[in-house]
Structure 1
Amino acid sequence: MKEIFIGIIASMFFAVTFILNRSMELSGGSWVWSSSLRFLFMLPFLFLIVLFRHNLKQVIQEMKKQPIQWFWWSFVGFVLFYAPLTYAASYGPGWLVAGTWQTTIVAGVLISPLFFNNVKIPIRALCISFIILSGVAIIQMQSANTLAVKDIIIGIMPVLIAAFAYPLGNRKMMEVCGGRLDTFQRVLGMTLATLPVWFIICIFGFIKSGGPSTDQIFQAFIVAICSGVIATSLFFIATDSVRKHQSKLAAVEATQSTQVLFVVIGEVLLLSVPLPNATASVGLIVIITGMLLHSYYAKKIKTKQKKPAA
């Protein structure tokens, strides 16, 4: 599927988040600035894109119709997603955060019947997602024994919160927008809705640890462009295209598992992290197999839908 390919490309840009967030923490930067600066840097780019497309007025009108819904689900999808991820980077390496983040694959499938009407859990998609998740777990075995239990718990729990918040916020905002806004409009609206929260976080960060360093500002800017603008927009384009088909949506969300591959490569090249051992390599093969199964299953459903009735 075209949407699966878009999701994989988005995952490549998303991987920048885990690599640079860890890099910023290792250089002494606060997670508070890593999280807030990303969205503050995203805003002008999204604003200009929507403005040049002459779609800004429609965003404001939609936000005025349901301001509480916009604020709450944007808060869930952006703040409860990204703040815990950057916090977790303070306690664990990029591979641990990126690996744990893959629970969002299963989370996206599980939340469907809990928060959406007349939606059943796609069992086959859920089973395939667990295959991918098992591959991620195998990768973690490479370095998990080198970390203290406390670091593992503190590094994992915030990521689990983010893993459920991101697909929930994304799906609820698609429901709120009802197809009336394109991807760039929706991301801009969600960024505007959460702007007060990011300003509060900035104030907290300044009081607690002072201003960000020049190096952290630069790296946060790179994250904003690669992950905040490019990756988020691509991922939302892919999920928007299949939002009415739960199995296909699960397949697109499962493409995020490829982030682990990109993070491993990035950390080896940029942060001198050791190459994956034989066990981790098996995990990578399991992840790729799961992705192929998701792609095959989604394509099979599409073929059945196109098949004319007898």
Structure 2
Amino acid sequence: MKQESAAPTTQLIDVDGKVSRVPPPLGSKPLLIFLVIGETARAADFELLGHVRPTNPKLSGVGDLYLFNEMSSCGTSTAISLPCIFSGLGREKFEVANATNRTNLLDTLTKGGIAVEWRDNNSGCKGICARVPAVAMQAEVTPLLCQEDYCHDEILLSGLSKSITDNPVDQLKVLHQIGSHGPAYWRRYPASFEYFKPTCRTTNLGACSLDEIHNAYDNTVRYTDHVLSKMIEMLQDLSDRYDTVFIYVSDHGESIGENGLYLHGAPYYFAPDMQTRIPMLLWMSEGYRQRKNIQSSCVQSLRNLPFSHDNIYHTVLGMADIKNAFYNSTLDILKVCRPL
């Protein structure tokens, strides 16, 4: 594993103000949160969210998995959406230039006593992880999961359990996937996950039929389903020692031929729904739900409400009982499900 080099932190603007945390109940287990950032996953191709194909065979069997049907992205590219999620600024106010030198969600969590680590199987953290431990996954970690210049997302699990249990404190792990990044969809999953056939096996999408492109894309979603289910399984196994939470949200969606459009990056106000409507999944251990007195029926009732990347910053802070000058309880998705 390769440690990411930190970005310059000169003239860092601290927007946190006073950071406070409600002490956990006496005798509580440490808190462990997986915040999984997907790549190029669109809600339309998740079986759990209405897709007619079996793209979520494993997650479909996970109990107490909460789904959000109306989740939208901050942008239509990783360069916008990723820093926007962690900035707390919200889509209307966010600009890359005004987020670079501000403290972000990871800084706030660190100040609140959470041990943060960023694990990356993508193109880096865009400066978000400049002040926290960060690991770029490399082929030498698990060679069987890597080919040429890329690795499959299961590599994010390599050594993860040990890194958690070696440090039995409150923790947040950000797991940044390569997910469904195109146009080389067929390279995003092992051969054993080529379930939908035939597939497009070239970056020249014009040389493939729409069915071949869609088959390859749906195979990436089916592999993501496998990886996410393994992450939840790890959290289930650790729930006797930690109160565990799993959050998955994609950075943006993708066009795969609808109306002649491909890939992503369209101007937001003209972008099709396929590029902005994204999946979000939430799982919490029984221990965490009891600790916060969260009723499953309440969380289920939120399923069809409109949420966006704007909510992630505040929801994660709320999960950790941390507040700063930027925290907005009206944007904390689970606030309504926690007793006052």
Q: Give 1 or 2: higher helix fraction.
A: 1
- The answer to whether the superposition gives a TM-score over 0.5 is no
Q: TM (normalized to structure 2)?
A: 0.26
Return the structure number with greater relative CO, CA threshold 8 A, min gap 6: 1
